[in-house]
Amino acid sequence: MPRDKDALRKEILKARRSLPAEYRQRASEAIMARLLECDAYRQAAAVMAYASMADEVQLQGLLEHSLQVGKLLALPHVISKGLMGAARVKSLAALTEGAYGILTVAEEGREMLPPGSLELIVVPGVAFGCDGSRLGMGAGFYDRFLSESEPQALRIALCFDCQLAEEIPMEVHDQRVEAIITETRFIDCRSGKVR
């Protein structure tokens, strides 16, 4: 039987939060290097990522690089309870604190992108399985958003090794990722190949 979602969430969050800050920084740099070399990222003209919390893989380098090389970049914008959209980022300096204290695009001049315009979506999560299963924070924002995004958008998770779990309880509405990058490996969830 799969473990209870809440129990697994607590266990993995505790492991992630206990990582030393310097390890988290080094691991984040290794993960970013792997992503930037990935063909799926290089070829994507429109990328959706997110502003990291302190204990997550740090994505500042990804946001900066995406803008530097001219990609269309989007961050999540909370529209209402459980519902979010993709807001275009034109400048990191224009980001402001949004719902849950997470950086988002300021309201003035905000441009929402249709989910179908995205080619690569960096999906956050608490825990991931090598089969692409995902455990989020429990609010369902990404499950709803991903169910509306076009199938051409590659869903990729960036996480620390301690966030990988052998089995993740999945429900019908739960959405999966297609690839996972950690500090030590690249996992193709569709083929099962690890490199």
User: CATH code at 16?
Assistant: 3.40.50.10420
Per-residue confidence at 1, pLDDT binned at 50, 70, 90? very low
Euclidean distance between CA atoms 133 and 139, whole angstroms: 16
Q: How many domains would you assign to the chain? A: 1
Euclidean distance between CA atoms 42 and 26, whole angstroms: 22
Render pLDDT for 99-151 as a digit per residue (tens, 0 to 9).
777 888 988 889 999 988 999 999 999 999 999 999 999 888 999 899 877 67
Residue-number span of the structural domain to which 133 is assigned? 5-188
Q: Is 135 exposed, middle or buried (0-12, 13-18, 19+ CB in 10 A)?
A: buried
**Residue 85 forms part of a structural domain:** yes
Residue 60 tokens read as 């500042």
- Where do we find the tokens 């509405």? 173
Which pLDDT belongs to residue 49?
A: 97
**Residue 194 forms part of a structural domain:** no
Euclidean distance between CA atoms 116 and 127, whole angstroms: 26
Euclidean distance between CA atoms 127 and 25, whole angstroms: 19
**Residue 195 forms part of a structural domain:** no
Euclidean distance between CA atoms 93 and 63, whole angstroms: 11
pTM for the full predicted model: 0.93
